[in-house]
Amino acid sequence: MKIKMKNSLTVGIAFFIIIITLTGSKVARTYSDGQKITLTITEADYGDFDNDGSEDDIIIKAIMKANFQGDYQAYIYLDITLPSGMVYKFSFQVMLSFYGDSSLEITITAYDTAIEAGWYECKLTSILIYEDMLIYSYSTYTFDPPTEKGPGQPTAEIAITSNE
């Protein structure tokens, strides 16, 4: 089965541009045989998570749910767009397990990325390999961290836990 990702992504991007939000949004894609994942950013904040003395790190928390069960390879992408338009891009390849009514809590900490004053947009995208299909979902969240610039290079780490 071949998926027309380009058309779906174009529609998704156009839909996102029409709806501007200051809190968050989510998009779930359902396929003809009913498989669906939902990804929702529940929080984005800043702090000194690397203990370097500067509150220039961003933490993003999200919930992912699926209406199917099993273990799946997935790709998770985080784009952090700064007020200047500069974008930090991070990617993670992970194995995810969905069982029963479980959901997964995703926490990503992006170090040394809150370096400008103004509104930041975080976009979290997941692409899950399900049999012969790719199932994707994304969520956005906009917030305003502080103005200090930190001393380090931008890096990120991910933690995934089950909410069973």
State the number of CA atoms in the 13 A half-sphere of 61 facing the CB. Answer: 7
pLDDT in tens, 5-29: 333 333 333 333 323 333 444 555 5
Q: What is the pLDDT of residues 84-125, one digit of tens each?
A: 999 999 999 999 988 877 789 999 999 999 988 888 999 999
pLDDT at residue 37 in the model:
86
C-alpha angle 132/65/77, rounded to 5°? 70
Spatial strand order in the sheet of 133-143:
87-98, 70-81, 120-130, 133-143, 24-30, 36-47, 57-66, 103-111, 155-162
Q: How confident is the model at residue 144 (pLDDT cuts 50, 70, 90)?
A: confident
pLDDT above 90 for 58: yes
Ordered by start, the domain boundaries in the chain are 5-162
Residue 54 DSSP one-character state: -
Per-residue pLDDT tens over the stretch 23-38: 444 555 545 467 788 9
**High-pLDDT (> 70) share of the chain, %:** 67
**Mean pLDDT of all residues in the chain?**
77
Helix (H, G, I), strand (E, B) or coil at 55: coil
Q: What CATH number is given for 5-162 in this structure?
A: 2.60.40.2420
* Confidence class for position 141, pLDDT limits 50, 70, 90: very high
pTM beyond 0.95: the answer is: no
Higher pLDDT, 77 or 147: 77
Please count the other Cβ atoms lying within 10 Å of the Cβ belonging to residue 44.
Answer: 24
Mean pLDDT of 113-140: 90
Structure confidence at residue 164 (pLDDT): 61
